[in-house]
């Protein structure tokens, strides 16, 4: 009874975080923050969903396989995010930083960068 | 309630498929279109999973979402990512497409309903396959029995098709030549994580290869998974090093060897006065003969698919490096 309740809570939380990730992916302004939003889905929502399923199935070979999936996800997702970030940085994607405080600094540094590139 | 839930999921997934297809047609950025195709394949795999076609879903996820996306991306490196915007609207084209679509939809009305118990396939073929699988082949996964034994001819044809696809790409593009870079780009995070992952992927590929008798899996999926391990190595450590591990010159031979293993298995039964690909001839006990035949045939398929997939990947990225 308690276990099924826990499983439901995990599944619900996982669903909420998936939704958060999707909204983040749609609404955040630039590549890096979108990546940050999307990685929530894989590093938090997916393990929660899998734990929910594991609590539901009980101690079987299937739940052992699910543990393996969690391990692989927890290791691979940050790596993929890192690789994507690196690739974006290499190809010259700059983060948007247009808050009130950083607007002036940002425009300054952008002119510096473009100055360097033109040389 | 549960049946309704399945219906809702099916309808949602199908609606997603249609939306993604329209988006992929409309969008002019080919990179995004490629990603949309990948998503399309994943949604299709989910749909197959919901229809309890686990083997098909597995193949769709491995080949459609995984391998085709990699291939399209390497093709995009050659062509560039933006579509030349020339949309000429031809009335004749619209008419022909509309007519074909209408004919197809008209044809669908003759089909039996999905899951109809009185459909011809449920009355004749399916019960026979299910009964004979237990009696004559004695493996739990009926799909593998149908694929490798009952329908061995079809699968042989598919393997030859894959082999000829590899040969065609090789003739058109060549396998290219890439020297390993002297000092590969330092990326410790990727290196450390990817190394054990490649081992895991290869072990999983072997598991899928030999587990096909008992669950979802088989030569096609295993070949793609095995090749994806090497493709990952090529992407992270540089293609020159991957070509040192598995030289491009050896791959066409492996692919031919895979097809040969399949064909020779059929010939053995032909030589002992049984029909082509009748595995009963392989052993004195017909059931263990079937087991051995399926093992050999799946090994042939796996080898052919693995070498072809890796060969096509080499060909596409080899051209890019030379120019």
Q: Divide the 323 residues of chain B into consecutive groups of 10 and give the mean pLDDT of each group.
A: 82 94 89 93 93 89 88 83 74 92 92 82 84 84 86 91 92 81 74 90 92 84 92 87 89 94 90 85 85 90 93 83 49
Residues 6+ apart with CB under 8 A from B136: B286, B287, B290
CB-CB contact of B64 with B41 (8 Å):
yes
Measured CA to CA in angstroms, residue A36 lies from A32, B124, B240 at distances of 6, 54, 33
* Cβ of residue A75 closer than 8 Å to a chain B Cβ: yes
pLDDT digits (tens, 9 = 90+) for A21-31: 999 988 888 88
pLDDT digits (tens, 9 = 90+) for A56-92: 888 888 888 899 999 988 888 888 888 888 888 888 8
Phi, psi of B29 (to 5 degrees): -80, 115
For tokens 């988006």, name the residue: B23
For residue B197, which residues of chain A lie inside 8 Å, CB to CB?
72, 75-76
For residue A83, which residues of chain B lie inside 8 Å, CB to CB?
187, 189-190
* Domain positions in chain A: 2-118
User: Cβ of A79 and B187 within 8 Å?
Assistant: no
Q: So what's the pLDDT on residue B191?
A: 87
User: What is the value of pTM for the model shown?
Assistant: 0.84
User: Cβ of A79 and B190 within 8 Å?
Assistant: yes
Distance from CA of A80 to the nearest CA of B (A): 8
Residues 6+ apart with CB under 8 A from A96: A29, A30, A33
Q: What angle do CA B254, B258, B262 make, to 5 degrees?
A: 165
Q: So what's the pLDDT on residue A104?
A: 53
Q: Is the pLDDT of residue A101 over 80?
A: no
* Cβ of residue A87 closer than 8 Å to a chain B Cβ: no
**Which residues are B29's β-sheet partners?**
B82
The number of CA neighbours under 13 Å toward the Cβ of B177 is 0
Q: Taking an 8 Å Cβ-Cβ cutoff, which residues of chain B contact chain A?
A: 187, 189-190, 193-194, 197, 200
* Domain positions in chain B: 1-84, 119-323
Q: So what's the pLDDT on residue B213?
A: 83
* Cβ of residue A83 closer than 8 Å to a chain B Cβ: yes
Q: So what's the pLDDT on residue B240?
A: 85
| Neighbour-count burial of B190, counting CB atoms closer than 10 A to its CB (0-12 exposed, 13-18 middle, 19+ buried) | buried
Q: So what's the pLDDT on residue A118?
A: 44
Q: How confident is the model at residue A119 (pLDDT cuts 50, 70, 90)?
A: very low
B180 φψ region: left (φ > 0), alpha (ψ -120 to 50), beta (else): beta
Task: Look up residue B29 and give its DSSP letter.
Answer: B
Query: Distance (Å, rounded) from C-alpha B28 to C-alpha B104?
Result: 28
Query: What is the ipTM for the molecules in this complex?
Result: 0.72
User: Cβ of B200 and A79 within 8 Å?
Assistant: no
Q: So what's the pLDDT on residue A109?
A: 53
Q: Is the pLDDT of residue A42 over 70?
A: yes
For residue B193, which residues of chain A lie inside 8 Å, CB to CB?
75-76, 79
């Amino acid at each position: 009874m308690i276990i099924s309740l826990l499983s439901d809570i995990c599944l619900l939380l996982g669903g909420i975080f998936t939704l958060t990730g999707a909204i983040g992916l749609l609404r955040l302004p630039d590549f890096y923050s979108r990546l940050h939003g999307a990685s929530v889905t894989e590093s938090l929502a997916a393990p929660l969903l899998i734990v929910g399923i594991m609590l539901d199935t009980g101690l079987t070979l299937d739940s052992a396989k699910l543990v393996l999936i969690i391990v692989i996800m927890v290791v691979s997702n940050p790596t993929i995010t890192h690789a994507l970030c690196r690739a974006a940085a290499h190809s010259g994607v700059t983060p948007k930083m247009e808050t009130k405080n950083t607007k002036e600094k940002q425009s300054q540094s952008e002119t510096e960068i473009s100055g360097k590139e033109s040389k | 309630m549960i049946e309704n839930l399945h219906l809702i999921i099916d309808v949602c997934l199908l609606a997603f498929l249609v939306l993604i297809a329209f988006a992929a047609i409309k969008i002019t950025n080919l990179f995004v279109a490629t990603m949309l195709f990948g998503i399309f394949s994943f949604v299709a795999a989910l749909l197959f999973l919901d229809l309890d076609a686990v083997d098909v879903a597995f193949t769709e996820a491995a080949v459609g979402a995984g391998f085709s996306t990699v291939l399209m991306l390497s093709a995009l490196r050659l062509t560039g990512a933006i579509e030349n915007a020339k949309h000429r609207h031809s009335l004749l084209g619209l008419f022909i497409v509309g007519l074909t679509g209408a004919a197809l939809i008209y044809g669908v009305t003759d089909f039996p309903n999905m899951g109809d118990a009185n459909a011809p396939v449920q009355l004749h073929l399916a019960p026979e396959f299910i009964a004979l699988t237990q009696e004559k082949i004695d493996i739990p996964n009926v799909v593998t029995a149908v694929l490798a034994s009952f329908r061995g001819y079809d699968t042989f044809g598919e393997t030859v098709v894959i082999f000829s696809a590899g040969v065609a790409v090789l003739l058109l593009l060549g396998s290219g030549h890439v020297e390993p870079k002297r000092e590969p780009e330092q990326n410790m995070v990727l290196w450390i994580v990817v190394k054990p992952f490649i081992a895991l992927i290869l072990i999983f590929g072997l598991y899928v290869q030999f587990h096909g008798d008992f669950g979802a899996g088989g030569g096609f999926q295993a070949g793609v998974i095995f090749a994806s391990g090497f493709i990952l190595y090529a992407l992270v450590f540089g293609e020159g090093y991957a070509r040192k591990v598995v030289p491009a010159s050896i791959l066409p031979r492996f692919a031919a060897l895979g097809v040969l293993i399949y064909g020779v298995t059929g010939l053995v039964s032909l030589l002992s006065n049984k029909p082509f690909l009748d595995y009963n001839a392989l052993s004195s006990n017909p059931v263990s003969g079937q087991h051995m035949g399926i093992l050999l045939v799946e090994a042939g398929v796996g080898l052919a698919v693995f070498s072809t997939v890796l060969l096509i990947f080499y060909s596409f990225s080899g051209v890019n490096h030379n120019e």
